[in-house]
Homo-oligomer: A and B are copies of this chain.
Amino acid sequence: MIPVAILGPTGYTGLELLEWLVRHPSLHVAYLATAREKQPRIDEEFPRLAGRLRSAHGPIDPRCRPIDAAAIQAAGVKLAFLCLPHEAAMHHAPTLLASGIKVVDLSAAYRIKDRAIYERAYGHPHTDAENLAHAEYGLPEWNRDAIRSARLVANPGCYPTAAAIAILPMLKAGLIDPASIIVNAASGASGAGREAKPHLTLVESGDNFSAYGIGVHRHQPEIQQTLDRYGEPRPANAEGVLFVPHLLPVERGILETIYATTNGPALRTADLLLELKNAYDGEPFVTVREGEATPTLRDVQHTNQVHVAVRSFGERVVLIAALDNLVKGASGQAIQNANLMLGFEETAGLA
């Protein structure tokens, strides 16, 4: 049994981590750390946790405590999940790492390797260049070996995970033009976090649908970095991916409909499908969808799966990817990364 901590458990990714970790055979939540002055009981913050905070290794203490690396270390914690704001993550990760505690960071703090790009996208300085340098991008399907030996893993964004899983096999095989990619995405409202904002009330966002952050969303540079890094290198001045997210009137789930043109000749759906199947053969959390029905949110909600499908129309390619933004897009993938970092079965606790 490995004790773990959650820093920032009062947001939706923190709640989702707890929901999954109570079922994990080997991890036990030993410390809940909050920056709030009045530290809540997590089962009062989220009544749905009442009576359920018990892992295979005994009861989980529902009381949140201060963010205190020494106390976290004293609790025997070997790995910490950071569900903090970006700046707080950069602030606390160094101390935890210095205390010998591995870190899976669910914020964006360590995702973008180029600090200038990060700072432009997120609007604040990056204050931890040292750890940024060795942080590993936590996309196991494309970076598994590095994750295994990493001490700090930057858990990917929800949109970038779906985009990467769908697009990378096409890029890697040189089938599509990297300058032609459009990621049209739609996400449930939990992706916007737990804070009450005027456009996120039921009246405003229920029964509604709209685009936002067209071409300027923070996940666009992350998607670009992932495509450039794990796919085919892009010609120097080729145009980048165009990312257009939309807000869906649902709690959870992301569907991306991705458009690209081939690198020349028309391609057959069957050939593209084969590429996907080869890329993800044996992957436990990627389901390549053959047949007529394409992925839906319902196919992936409350699971750690990504479903992908592909269609070709002459020189045009359409990829569809679906995942649960709180699971494979956040907390599930975080556990997948933790499993790798701690030497457990990658699928442990993720059934």
A residues contacting B by CB (< 8 A) are: 12, 22-23, 44, 47-48, 50-52, 54-55, 182, 184, 186, 188-190, 194, 196-198, 200-212, 214-215, 239, 242, 244, 246, 248-251, 253, 255, 257, 259, 284-287, 289, 291, 293-303, 305, 307, 311, 313-316, 318, 320, 322, 351
Contact = CB atoms under 8 A, between A and B. Distances in A.
Given A48-B303, A210-B297, 9 more contacts: A54-B351, A184-B184, A186-B209, A201-B201, A206-B249, A207-B250, A214-B318, A239-B314, A239-B316
A202 to B, nearest CB: 4
Contacts of A54: 351
Q: Sorted from nearest, which 3 A-B pairs have the closest CB atoms?
A: A210-B296, A196-B196, A189-B202
B51 A289 contact: no
Nearest to A320: B211
Given A51-B287, A205-B202, A287-B50, A246 B239 contact: no
B255 A210 contact: yes
Contacts of A211: 255, 257, 294, 320
B351 A52 contact: yes
A74 to B, nearest CB: 27
A208 to B, nearest CB: 5
Nearest to A294: B211
A197 B52 CA distance: 27
Nearest to A300: B48
A48 B299 contact: yes
Contacts of A299: 47-48, 50
B257 A296 contact: no
A339 B346 CA distance: 28
B298 A48 contact: yes
26 contacts: A12-B203, A47-B287, A48-B298, A48-B300, A50-B289, A51-B286, A52-B351, A186-B186, A186-B209, A189-B202, A194-B203, A197-B201, A201-B205, A202-B205, A202-B206, A202-B251, A206-B251, A207-B250, A208-B298, A209-B255, A209-B296, A209-B297, A210-B255, A210-B295, A239-B315, A249-B249
Given A182-B182, A246-B255, A255-B246, A204 B298 contact: yes
A201 B182 contact: no
A251 B196 contact: no
Nearest to A311: B214
A211 B22 CA distance: 29
B184 A203 contact: no
Contacts of A55: 351
B206 A190 contact: no
A289 B246 CA distance: 17
Nearest to A187: B209
A196 B198 contact: yes
Contacts of A194: 198, 201, 203
Contacts of A285: 51
A189 B209 contact: no
